[in-house]
Structure 1
Amino acid sequence: MTPTRRRGQRLDDAILDATWQILHEAGYARLTFEAVAAAAGTSRPVLSRRWPTRAELALAAMERAAPPVAAVPDTGGLRPDLIDLLREAVNGFGAVRGEVLAGLLAETARDPDAAAAVRAWIARSTTRHAMAAVLARAAERGEIPTADLSARVLRLPFDLARNEVILGGLPLADDVIASIVDDVVLPLVGAAGRERPASATASGSPDS
């Protein structure tokens, strides 16, 4: 029986499913256009027309399999909000093996466009706007002096968690997430608020 020819989204879904399976089971080093084409039942030219590089193909599969954080936790307290937010983010980018992230970062280091795409995916997976919203509510409740914090501070818990994933692999245990919140983030947001000069306080919300 001749297989039905797939087009459009059906074909893209088959390709990205095959890419994700290879990334998840074999790692970035074993991701090739030939392997994906064979697994998806298509040809290498079909893949390369859609995704010219291996890094772009991997990123597309990661975007589909590990979407960014969608909801902002609102438990009524800063610590549980931070833990819930970080756990949800880890479930997103943490679904990507540390070896895959490390391979992507290494491969794209000399390619500005590809490196920018990786950074954009990382930024989307960290959702600084959600962190800003959590801190704004905490400031309103009086838990921290201010929510007027830099984009670097907003990224920090996600950067630390992602570093744990890259260096240590998965799963990222709940006690590690709690340690990032308790030992780093909570002291930092309190200290940053107290030490920030009044003249440096800008109107509006932090970068998102």
Structure 2
Amino acid sequence: MSTRRRGAELEQAILQAAAQELRESGYPGMTMDAVATRAGTNKNAIYRRWPNRAALGIAAYRHLTDTVMPDPDTGTLRDDALQMLRQANQTWSSPYGTILRGLLTAAADDPELLTLMRERTGADTMDQTWLTMLQRAVARGEAPATAIHLRVATTPMMLLRAEYAMRGIPTVPDAVLVEIVDEVFLPLVRGRAHVGFSRG
């Protein structure tokens, strides 16, 4: 007679089943019924832990890609930025990136999913990493203090996402990553030296 799974054991079984569904069918094809069947449980057990498919999909994606967030400190802002973009490009062009793009596509029509993604897939942590890189650049004298701004920090990743979204390519050429850094990000950072914040 088998022992009924509970707690963490059942949760892991559900996550593994959902992750397998994501790998095989992507987020659009992942259903609560299929996950429950694969995990050998029922939908009620899933809903007690994740309130909806979006929450489960994001948890399963994190289960697949649970890695340490990169935090490069190469000594120059340019090399830090390139390392970050290259790591993101490698992830997004992998099978995991296909899953992530499916989640992003679904999020376009589901504000709740987009909020969950930011909270639970490390988007805010990624933003903070870029801000930290800018802070180090300021401390080294590479950038003006006014460059430490969220819009500046998020520009490279937004441009990389746009390459995938608008061009529909499987991976972004390294030359484009260099252009994002050299032609957009670094000039933007340096140009902040001339930005005034006086208000009347």
Is the shorter-chain TM-score for this pair beyond 0.5, marking a shared fold?
A: yes
Structure-to-structure mapping, 1:120-131, within 5 angstroms: 120-121=119-120, 124=123, 127-131=126-130
Alignment deviations for residues 136-190 of structure 1 (CA, whole Å, 9 cap, x no partner): 2222333223354321221222222233344526444433433322232112111
State the Cα distance separating 1:79 from its structure 2 match.
1.2
Cα deviation code 1:33-75 (max 9, x no counterpart): 0111122222112112211211111111123333475342111
State the distance in 1 between where 2:179 and 2:36 align.
42
Distance 1:145 1:16 in 2: 45
| Paired amino acid for 1:186 | L
1:84 and 1:166 map into 2 onto residues whose CA distance is 21
Give RMSD over aligned pairs.
2.8
Q: Mapping of 1:179-198 within 5 angstroms?
A: 179-191=179-191, 193-197=192-196
**SS of equivalent residue, structure 2 residue 155:** helix
Partner residue in 2 for 1:206: none
Q: Deviations over 1:62-102 (max 9, x none)?
A: 23333475342111111111111233345566634212321
Q: Does 1:15 align with 2:18?
A: no
Corresponding residue number in structure 2 for 1:85: 84
Provide the rounded CA distance (Å) in 2 between the counterparts of 1:153 and 1:45: 44
TM-superposed deviation, 1:130: 1.4
Q: Which moved more, 1:35-44 or 1:156-165?
A: 156-165
Unaligned runs of 5+ in 2: none
| C-alpha distance in 2 between matches for 1:31 and 1:123 | 22
State how many pairs are aligned. Answer: 194
1:32 Cα deviation after fit? 0.5
Q: Structure 1: how far apart are the matches of 2:148 and 2:87?
A: 22
Letter in 2 for 1:101: L
Other-structure match for 2:177: 177
What are the residue-to-residue correspondences of 1:40-119 with 2, within 5 Å?
40-67=39-66, 70-90=69-89, 95-97=96-98, 98-106=101-109, 108-109=110-111, 113-119=112-118
Gap regions ≥5 residues in structure 1: 201-208
CA distance in 2: counterparts of 1:127 and 1:194, whole angstroms: 24
8 Å CA contact 2:108, 2:114 repeated in 1: yes
Closer/same/farther in 2, CA of residues 178 and 51 from structure 1, 3 Å limit = same
The one-letter code sitting in structure 2 at the alignment partner of 1:187 is P
Aligned-pair identity (%): 36
8 Å CA contact retained: 2:147, 2:190? no
Give the whole-Å Cα distance in 1 for the aligned partners of 2:53 and 2:164: 21
For the Cα contact (< 8 Å) 1:139–1:146, is it kept in 2? yes
Contact 2:71 2:129 in 1 (8 A): yes
SS at match of 2:145: coil
Q: Is the 8 A contact 1:66 1:92 kept in 2?
A: no
Check the 8 A contact 1:32/1:54 in 2, yes or no: yes
User: In structure 2, what is the Cα distance between the partners aligned to 1:58 and 1:163?
Assistant: 23
